Amino acid sequence: MNNSRTTFRSLSCLAALLWCLGAPRAAFCIDNRPADLESREELAIKQATALVTASLVRIETVGGLDRIGQVLTVTGPTTGVIVSPDGFIISSAFNFASRPASILVTLADGRRLPATQIATDKLKMLTLIKIEAENLPVPQAAPAETFRVGQWAIALGRTLDESASISVGIISALNRIWGKALQTDAKISPVNYGGALVDIEGRVLGILVPLSPQASGEVAGVEWYDSGIGFAIPMVDVLATLDRLKAGKDLTGGLLGITIKGQDIYEGQPIIDRVRYGSPAYQAGLRDGDAIVELGGQAVKRQAQIKHLLGNRYAGETVSIKVKRGSEELVREMTLVEKLVPYESAFLGILPVRDGVGKPADLGVGVRFVVDDSPAAQAGIARGHRILKFNDHDVNSPAALLDLVSRQRPLDRARLVVQQEGKRKELELTLGSLPASVPLELRPSPIVPREKELANKELKTGRFTEKMPAHEHEYWAYVPEDYNPEFKYGLLVWLHPSGDTMEASILKAWQTLCDERGLILLAPKAGQIAGWIPDETEFVKDAVEQFFEKYSIDRSRVALHAYGGSGPFAYQLAFKHRQLFKGISTVAAPLLAPPPDNEPDFRLQFHLLCGDNDPQIRNVVMSARGLSELKFPVVYRAIEGAGHKYPSAEFVTEIAVWIDSLDRI
């Protein structure tokens, strides 16, 4: 009896012993093995990469421009993603900005093939190329409904030798750049532009491209490389437009042709400020003052929403709009266009008496000068008259009259109420267009020399030099000695050519004219005597704004003046800061890049001079012609018998008169 109990006990102990030996570790393990999760993630990332890497190609280009404007184009390789088995490959437009002569593709298996450029999507900055091949592997696209902020996003490229490159991050945001792109914090740079952003399951989320919400163009956004901010165009969007690209059609963003009142895009109910003539909005019958209620079926409460709704649409797409006009609601369909009809302002033919001159209680806008053969001249308007009403609107300032006239087109009829010698007269006339000549007989507007001391004792007059603290840059300036802050002065910003600031000769040429015509001369100096660099636009902008604060300056008469090598920098400055500069006068300086469109809200007038023996004369003529076609107000004059030199006093005087007439209406 004892034996069986003992046996039983022994056996059970033995069984327990054996069980202990054989028990899986897990029974006793504390499952705190973080490395296990990490190694599984690592494996998942490697597998996701492996699924797509065969569809990545390396693209190299040969030949092409070495600069665009003043930015050097890159020469390194870039990446592409195969989108169809017969050899269509999508990549970022970044590497094709230089318009290469020859494109070479290296497949994952090492084969090298030449490629042809098929089309570019300029809205999303993508380029489609094609190689002759068959049965190429095409990756899967991740459906848009699976996108989640915070999910794994792996950026793949194939620009480095020997292996594809990867960078691991997450999706940081959706619908960035006005609805166009996914944002990721993976490292995005030329190493993987044109490559694929892939999810943890190995499906392509999007194609990596440099983008910036503030600027556009093939190289916008490159300055954010490896910064933790990167963008990818969703693959599903790319596939949606693929057939059109395959057909060889370039795609561009679509325009409606409207501007919205107000500077703040977050303010309430957007109200149309201007409808551009000939635009889709114009043809749909929309008018200045309509309030936008719905766009593309979505309710609109803020201007920012319009940008979001239109930011991802191409020219040729139709969009519906609902506006409110008074108590009426109108619904219209519009087809977006690539380019709008060039904007051209009407011209009345007068130069207004400036604010600050004359008795403040006078109504309307005084006429300082009437341009020969203009509509105003033909209607009998003369110096000394006052314009009280334009098309039934009261006119209280030159700015208000200019705004009204700018909304009309040449050959429109207009009704004015004019005060002539104490009597009110009603007139009707046909508006004209801005003349391409300078009214040389224009006499200066009177400026009374100041009588008392300047309130700000530190304000300098005469010729002086200053250094800008924030910028390590210098400028010199000339303010008329009898500067009177009660009057508004024009501002002439002189940009010297490379190698020579021309301080002495410019001061000599302009000093008297500044005194006569009420001009302040500001002459920034380039950091390197060799020439201006694009980064210096900020310095010049800050210098100009500083002068706005210190001196009494008429914002409608701020002009840039450039000669020869400083031309490109001056044009770039004028186009980048259109709210600052109203005129640009150049000598022997053609446009190197196509200008942007003429815009009603940012009036910009041009005065181009060139010696007819100057080697640049042909280019300057072409630039003038190009600007006229875009309906910019351009005055072009060739200087007979002159080569490449700064113009004589006669022409400098013309430029001064042109600046004096920049506020013509």
Give the binding site for other proteins (CB under 8 A): 6, 9-10, 13-14, 16-17, 20-21, 23, 25, 28-30, 32-36, 38, 42, 45-46, 49, 60-66, 72, 74-76, 98, 101-102, 104, 112-114, 116, 132, 160-168, 186-187, 189-191, 225-226
Hunting for tokens 């149309």 — which residue is that? 272
| CB of residue 23 to other proteins, shortest distance in Å | 7
Rounded Cα distance between 293 and 2, Å, is 98
Token pair listed for 387: 């314009």
Nearer to other proteins, 57 or 656 (CB): 57
| CB of residue 533 to other proteins, shortest distance in Å | 15
Nearer to other proteins, 52 or 405 (CB): 52
| CB of residue 245 to other proteins, shortest distance in Å | 20
DSSP secondary structure letters along 450-485? P-S--SSTT---EEEEEEETTTTEEEEEEE-TT--T
Nearer to other proteins, 17 or 448 (CB): 17
Nearer to other proteins, 132 or 629 (CB): 132
Nearer to other proteins, 160 or 448 (CB): 160
| Strand 196-198 with 152-157, pairing | antiparallel
Nearer to other proteins, 66 or 264 (CB): 66
| CB of residue 130 to other proteins, shortest distance in Å | 10
| CB of residue 66 to other proteins, shortest distance in Å | 4
Q: Virtual CA dihedral for 177, 178, 179, 181, nearest 10 degrees?
A: -10
Nearer to other proteins, 168 or 197 (CB): 168
Rounded Cα distance between 624 and 342, Å, is 15
Distances (CA, A) of 333 to 88, 200, 284, 297, 535: 35, 42, 7, 11, 43
Nearer to other proteins, 220 or 293 (CB): 220
Q: Virtual CA dihedral for 80, 84, 87, 93, nearest 10 degrees?
A: -30
| CB of residue 26 to other proteins, shortest distance in Å | 8
Nearer to other proteins, 75 or 465 (CB): 75
Rounded Cα distance between 663 and 665, Å, is 6
| CB of residue 186 to other proteins, shortest distance in Å | 8
Nearer to other proteins, 226 or 394 (CB): 226
Q: Virtual CA dihedral for 374, 377, 383, 387, nearest 10 degrees?
A: -90
| CB of residue 202 to other proteins, shortest distance in Å | 13
Nearer to other proteins, 62 or 454 (CB): 62
| CB of residue 181 to other proteins, shortest distance in Å | 20
Helix (H) or strand (E) holding 576: helix 567-576
Distances (CA, A) of 614 to 176, 231, 644, 645: 48, 47, 5, 8
| CB of residue 42 to other proteins, shortest distance in Å | 5
Q: Cβ of 56: how many Cβ atoms within 10 Å?
A: 26
Rounded Cα distance between 274 and 288, Å, is 5
| CB of residue 497 to other proteins, shortest distance in Å | 23
Q: Virtual CA dihedral for 639, 642, 645, 647, nearest 10 degrees?
A: -40
Residue 202 contacts residue 140 (beta carbons within 8 Å): yes
| CB of residue 556 to other proteins, shortest distance in Å | 41
Question: Bridge partners of 83?
Answer: none
Rounded Cα distance between 527 and 550, Å, is 24
Hunting for tokens 């501002």 — which residue is that? 491
Nearer to other proteins, 155 or 319 (CB): 155
| Strand 78-82 with 56-62, pairing | antiparallel
| Strand 413-420 with 423-430, pairing | antiparallel
Burial of 65 (0-12, 13-18, 19+ CB in 10 A): exposed
Nearer to other proteins, 226 or 545 (CB): 226
| CB of residue 22 to other proteins, shortest distance in Å | 11
3-state helix vs strand vs coil in the chain, percent to 5: 25, 30, 45
